[in-house]
Amino acid sequence: MKLLKKALITSSLTLTSATVLLSLSPSPSLGGTLTYTDSFSFQNTDFFDNLIVPKYNGTQPLLSIEVMVTSNIQGTYTLRRTGTSNITYGQTIDLVGASLIVDGPNSSIILNTVPTQNIGTGRLTATNPLLSLNISGTDTHSGFIDPSFFSLYTGTGNVTFNAEASSNLAVSKLGNPFEETANILADASLQITYTYQDSPPGSPASEIPEPSTLLGLLAVGAAGVVSRRRKSYDN
């Protein structure tokens, strides 16, 4: 009988501990999100444009604001030998593309995407006087708004981002004379994600016990089970 009594007590302790841990485990997600996007199609560089998205107009407190900008390029690049000297290109730098700077209100965020294409290295000679390439590329940058600027992104209405695009020609050339031309187009898309407090502060789902509290609850629960088991067997 004594062996049976000890085994039952041990089993009860294990079951009680597992139950307490399960009831105190935190909620898997306490935040909700709202995502908005805006974009403009391909335009010849250089240009100015705007990207406009709604402000956050929810009732729950904001936790974070993330902005992501993606820009693509397409176009052509040519380099022509116009004299008798050979032209060596791309020995140091060989990038062709665009630079797109997106500026948030009050410069709350500045993202610079630089979609480019490497053209490689080569030489223009009397028998090969022309380099002509189709250009394509993409680049994405993202960042978070500092909480001190949250007021610019909340309430009714929209948030306007300024976008400035310029061609980006960075090709090293040795020799002259030559003729260089580029026709670069760029587009852009902007995504803003508002993450907000999904559960009101102070609600049971948002409160996670401290480790010391958790251990105390386990000890109290275990002691209670042992006491009840001993009392029942003593009777």
Banded model confidence at residue 30, pLDDT cuts 50, 70, 90: low
Residue 89 falls within a domain, yes or no? yes
Q: Which residue has the tokens 């310029």?
A: 166
Task: Provide the pLDDT for residue 152.
Answer: 98
Task: Provide the pLDDT for residue 200.
Answer: 61
Q: How far apart are CA 132 and CA 79, in angstroms?
A: 7
Q: How far apart are CA 22 and CA 11, in angstroms?
A: 17
Residue 202 falls within a domain, yes or no? no
Based on the number of CB atoms within 10 Å of its own CB, is 97 exposed (0-12), middle (13-18) or buried (19 or more)? buried
What 3-state DSSP class applies to 57?
coil
Residue 233 falls within a domain, yes or no? no
Task: Provide the pLDDT for residue 49.
Answer: 98
Residue 90 falls within a domain, yes or no? yes
Within its chain, how far is the Cα of 198 from the centroid? 20
Does residue 27 register a pLDDT over 50?
no
Does residue 84 register a pLDDT over 70?
yes
Task: Provide the pLDDT for residue 44.
Answer: 97
More confident of the two residues 30 and 166: 166
Task: Provide the pLDDT for residue 198.
Answer: 84
Q: How far apart are CA 29 and CA 166, in angstroms?
A: 42
More confident of the two residues 81 and 235: 81
pTM recorded for the entire structure: 0.71
Task: Provide the pLDDT for residue 148.
Answer: 97
Task: Provide the pLDDT for residue 173.
Answer: 95
Task: Provide the pLDDT for residue 3.
Answer: 42
Task: Provide the pLDDT for residue 180.
Answer: 96
Q: What is the DSSP letter of 179?
A: E
Q: Which domain holds residue 181?
A: 33-196
Cα-Cα end-to-end distance for the chain: 14
Mean of pLDDT over the chain:
81
Task: Provide the pLDDT for residue 31.
Answer: 80
Banded model confidence at residue 56, pLDDT cuts 50, 70, 90: very high
Does residue 205 register a pLDDT over 50?
no
Residue 140 falls within a domain, yes or no? yes
Residue 222 falls within a domain, yes or no? no
Structural domains of the chain, count: 1
Banded model confidence at residue 119, pLDDT cuts 50, 70, 90: very high
Cα dist. 85→34, 44, 81, 127, 228 in Å?
60, 32, 8, 12, 101
Residue 178 falls within a domain, yes or no? yes
Task: Provide the pLDDT for residue 195.
Answer: 98
Task: Provide the pLDDT for residue 18.
Answer: 32
Task: Provide the pLDDT for residue 202.
Answer: 60
Residue 150 falls within a domain, yes or no? yes
Does residue 211 register a pLDDT over 60?
no
Provide, rounded to the nearest whole percent, the portion of the chain with pLDDT above 70: 71
Mean pLDDT for 214-219 is 46
Does residue 222 register a pLDDT over 80?
no
